[in-house]
Structure formats: C-alpha cells, structure tokens
Chain A
Amino acid sequence: MMMASNIRPEPPAKTGERLLDVKGLTIEIETRTGPATIVDGIDLHVDKGETLGIVGESGCGKSLTMLSMMRLLPNKIKVTKGEANFAGRDLQKMSNSDLRKVRGGDVGFIFQDPMTSLNPVMRIGQQLAEPLIYHRGMSKAEARKRAGELLKLVGIPGAEDRLDAYPHELSGGMRQRVMIAIGLACNPQLLIADEPTTALDVTIQAQIVDLVKDLRDKLGMSVVWITHDLALIAGLVDRINVLYAGTVVEDAPVDALFANPSHPYTQGLLASIPKLSDERSTRLSSIGGTPPEPGRRPKGCPFAPRCPLAEAICHERVPSLEGLGQDGAHRVACFVAQRKLEAA
C-alpha cells in the first residue's frame, strides 16, 4: 500500500510571540581536572506555532540544551548560568512540582531510542494513559479511550488491540509512533523531538517526518526538531539554528540557510552532503579536524582551528551572533562573514 502524501492543512499561523526563550544558558560538566564548559551561553527561542530545527554534530550540546531546560541533566552536569523561559515562566527557577506539570504536559518529548525510553514491562496503553491521568486528571477508563485515539492519530493499525501490547512486540517504527503518541498525549504547546528518526530506516524515517508535520499542522503546536541531518528537516522546519561546540553559530529562516549559508561551518556541513548532481568519485568537500573537547575550548571562535577563513582576530575574540541584512532574521556569529556583508 503506497500513498502519495495528500493535501495538508495550512501550517499554524506564526504570531511572533515567544513560547520558549533561552538566554545565556551555560552548562558545565565536572571532570577530574575541574569544571569544563559544554554549552557556552547559548541563546535560542521558539515562537508560537513555529518549527525550529537544531542542527549540529555529536557533542555540540544540542540535546543537553533541551534536557537542561527541563532540568533533566545527568549527575555531574549542571546549568551554571542563564535562564529558560517557557510561556513567560523561568523553568530554571520553578519548583519541582510545578516543573513536573510542564514536563510531559505542556512540553512533550520524543527521544531517539524508543526501546530505552519505553518501559519494557508496562503495556503500551498504560504508558499512554499515565500522563493523561497525571496531568489531565482523567479517569482510567477515559484515559484508555483517549490512548486508543492517540494510537489511531499516529497511524498504528489496529490501534485498540495494540493497547495491551508490550514494547518488544512492536517494530522500531511502531515504537517510535508510540513515543510520539505519548509526547502528544496532553496536547502540548511545544514538542521537542530529539533525533527521533536516527535509528530508523529511510522509509520509516519519511513516515515519521510526514506524521509530525501533519500533527503539527492539525494541533497547531510548536516543534523543536534536533538532528544532525540537514536534508531531513529541509521540508519540515521554519527556521534552523546551527550549533557548534555549545554555541549557536548561525540562525536563519530555512530557505535563507540553504540558499545563503553564511557561517563557514554551515557551509562546510552543506558541502559535505553528497548531491544528486555529483559525478561518481568526485571528492566531497570535508571539514578537516574534529570539534574541540569540553575543557579544551579554544580562546577565540570555537570553530577557528578548523576554519579555512580564520584570521588573527578569530583566534583572539569570540564573535557574537549578529543580524545580516535589513530585517536581521538571518544571524551569524563570524567575524569574516559579518565584515564581508558590511563591505557589500
């Protein structure tokens, strides 16, 4: 059974109203030699109805930033500075009991590996019902009915029968759909998807991306999609933040980012994706070297040691995120890119 993707409802209207606003968030890890900075004063925001893509390589801090907002960091990793406002309230200062109402209630999560995120000895239906009973005060019977509807919503065939299944009885794609259903259970205002398709095959990946797109448009929520795959989110997001070594190096509307990538790191990332038009065996352009380890961050711009355009100033000072062009919607943290634009 194959299905051409059908006509979608209009995406939710963007009001420009901030739903999530992270300011100067700094995360440190305790090591034997003292604290090391992993995320360095990161700023990011998501508007109501907006879908934000966060792109970066492993270890750039993309997942930690999202986990830290919800105060879900593992031991030895701490937020040392900054704030994270959700719908006008600072999540870092909220009491634990208030925060529990936000987690899984107004903010839904989908994690990368559903096998480790789902409880293996609990039936799917119970796991779906749990947040509904806790956050929305539903009775068991109501919650079970709603759980069946949710499974139907995420396209699980024979949804009602599946409520009594255990996670191991489902395939990887189905488990990921269950995770999405749990994330959506309480009609969140914000859905945070942390590499939700990385472990899945390309055909299932396409199913999941289309599913989230449809659900977002139907339910009118904001989405943060964390990934290392720029191509995957090209058709899904409104805006992209590119992360490198715990800082946002470029923030741009999706079309502007692909048409006019301005940070040398973004340019490098895009150039290392093989293209349809390439001849076989043409060398891919790659970024030499590897990202800095926490605790060994260079003094200036964190990308400077790998940057083909780096100048003396890049090794001395850290560039801030500045708007390019008139509306300032496209922002980049790079001395060279900023100067080029001023000259033009």
Chain B
Amino acid sequence: MGAQPLMRIENLVKHFHVRLGAFGERAATVHALDDVNFDILEGETLSLVGESGCGKSTTGFTLLNLHRATEGKVIYQGKNIVELDEKAMRPYRRQLQIVFQDPYSTLNPRMTIGEAVGEPILFHKLATKAELKDRIATLLADVGLPPRFASRYPHELSGGQRQRVAIARALACQPKFIVCDEAISALDVSVQAQIINLLLDLQQKYGLTYLFIAHDLAVVRHISDRVGVMYLGRLAELATREELFEHPLHPYTKALLSAVPEADPAHERSRQRQILQGDVPSPLSPPSGCRFHTRCPIAMEICGKVVPEWREARAGHMVACHAVTEGLPG
C-alpha cells in the first residue's frame, strides 16, 4: 500500500478508576488499555478484533478523545489530539467520526432523518440553509436511501435503514476517518452484507480510512487491509490480513482463528479445533508478564514474569510473544 500514516498511536494507556463493593468502599483500577502502539494508514481499513472486554472499543473511544487517555499520544496532523480540550478538539471532531452498533439508541427519536443528517452540516457550517435540502438528499442517496426518507422518524425504519442513516450522519461532516464500532454486529446476515458493501463503496468514493471494531472474524477477513488482535487491553498481534489469517504467530490469534466456524458441514465435522479453556481474566487484576500466559498452551516460565516486547517478527508483522521472539515453534 505504501500509504502515509493518518494517525499514530503511541504508548496509549487508559485506566478507569472504579469503586467496588456494595457501598463503593474499595477503589480499583480497570486496566482497559495498556501500552498500545500502532499506526493507521491513510485510506486503509484497519480492524481490531478480540473477545469482549479486550479493549477494542476503548481504543476507538480513546483515540477520538471521547475517553480521556491516561497516558500516551495520538498524533493526527502533527498534533497530539488526546491532550486537546473540547474546544480545541472541535475542528478535528468533524474529520474524525464514529458509527455505533445500535443506531436506534444513537438517533434522536424525535428528530426526522433529515434533521438528524442535517444537524452536523449546520453545526460545522458545511452548507447554507438554502443548500441543506440538496445536501441531505445527496447524503441519503450515498447510503442508498430515497430522498423521501428525510421526513421520516427513526422508528419507521428497519435496523439496516437506521444504520444507513447513522452512516449518512457521519458522512455529513465530510470526515477523513471513521471508527466503525461493531457497526454491523446487530444486523441480520443479509442486511449485514448490504452495509458491508456500502462501507466499501463509500471508502472508494471518498477515500475514507476506517478503524473497524468487530468480533466477527469472517467479516473482518473480508473487509480489512490490516488486522490487530487484542487481548485484555494489549495488542497481541498486528499484520496484513493475508499474513494474519495465513500465518498467525501469536498463540491467542491461532486459538481465535480456530474457533471461527466455516459454512462447510464436512469440514466442520472433521476439524480439530484448538479450543481455549476458561475465560478471559479480569482486567481489574490482569495477569503479570504476558497477559495471555494463564491460558496459553505454550507458556514458558518467562511469560509469567516479563511483559513480551511489541516487535516486528516479519516485515510489517508485529507480535508480542516470548515464544515467537525466541524462535520456538508456535
């Protein structure tokens, strides 16, 4: 691809301070993100995958400065945007958009679709009131909805149509970058395919960059240029889609891939799955050393003691695993 980085994430840390116990008498820290480093390249689709609670959504929120980062930098257009206050952030907000999983709870039920899509246009002064109607019609057409939808309310629309509206609203700001936070997870299979196609079309048309947060690996494999695998607040592995799916290095990635079902009965019946036992440990007290060592089939002594370094194992293929570093099979 050879594209320039659009965004550079350096040593990003996000801890949430919570109070536990029936009366909130115990203070505790949720280690949601720890020392996360990666670039997002211009025009690419970078996906983050992992189990619930691994920090993939927190990453999306933190790098848009929707959660205040505890430590670290997010460099966008030469500026560390995570240290900006809300006012200084405003010009960047227009360029950096997000689409959520549930469009029903993100759309105001009392606003028509036209109002919802028009609001960011007026806020960022991207069109005059006279131009607004045409602009809304164009945006609705972009996401495959007829102009008459502008006068409808969210409850009159199906889930897929509402997600199209949420995308139109993000597009209204003429963004460079969109975080898709489980944006297609709640949709039915046939509708999901429509929205995936729509996202791919819009990316081509407007040169968008996506950070795609999802747990469905079949979808991720379909749309991504690069894929990052997260486990318990840390990146385990990041590589191009071909590298990651054909030559996964991290034992967690291997286990995750082996759990994905294929639409092939004979293959499914005969396949030898590597099934991970147990659950993800609590982010309140993550395991020492490599956070995966408690469930890892090839864990060594060092894994419980030292945090593995985030390093390039092959060209463009980043991984954090002691076994890979030592060149052991795995």
Contact = CB atoms under 8 A, between A and B. Distances in A.
Given A202-B256, A254-B265, A278-B222, A58 B51 contact: no
A88 B255 CA distance: 45
Given A203-B256, A230-B263, A290 B273 contact: no
12 contacts: A1-B295, A2-B277, A4-B272, A4-B274, A5-B273, A209-B261, A231-B268, A272-B189, A276-B262, A280-B223, A285-B193, A286-B193
B261 A2 contact: no
A235 B295 CA distance: 26
Interface in B274-327: 274-280, 295, 297
B273 A57 contact: no
Interface string A234-251: 111000000000000000
A273 interface: yes
A269 B297 contact: no
A95 interface: no
B188 A57 contact: yes
B59 to A, nearest CB: 17
A283 interface: yes
Contact of A2 (B52, B191, B297): B297
A231 B263 contact: yes
A126 interface: no
B20 interface: no
For the complex of A and B, 9 pairs with smallest distance between CB atoms = A235-B268, A286-B193, A274-B222, A272-B193, A2-B297, A206-B259, A57-B188, A287-B190, A201-B51
Contacts of B159: 58
Report the interface size class on chain A: 35 or more
Contacts of A3: 274-275, 277
Interface of A: 1-5, 57-58, 157, 171-174, 201-207, 209-210, 228-232, 234-236, 254-255, 258, 268-270, 272-276, 278, 280-288, 290
Nearest to B49: A202
A230 B258 CA distance: 17
B200 to A, nearest CB: 5
A233 to B, nearest CB: 8
A281 B273 contact: no
Contacts of A230: 189, 263
B215 interface: yes
B197 A234 contact: no
A21 B281 CA distance: 45
Interface string B174-193: 00000000000000111111
B55 to A, nearest CB: 14
Given A202-B215, A229-B189, A278-B221, 13 more contacts: A1-B295, A2-B297, A4-B274, A57-B190, A202-B51, A203-B256, A206-B275, A207-B276, A254-B265, A258-B263, A280-B223, A283-B197, A286-B193
A232 to B, nearest CB: 5
Contacts of A2: 251, 255, 274-277, 295, 297
A204 B255 CA distance: 11
B196 interface: yes
B133 to A, nearest CB: 26
A286 B197 contact: yes
A121 to B, nearest CB: 14
Tell which of B222, B262, B280 has the most Cβ of chain A within 10 Å.
Answer: B222
B330 to A, nearest CB: 12
A283 B268 CA distance: 25
A282 B223 CA distance: 8
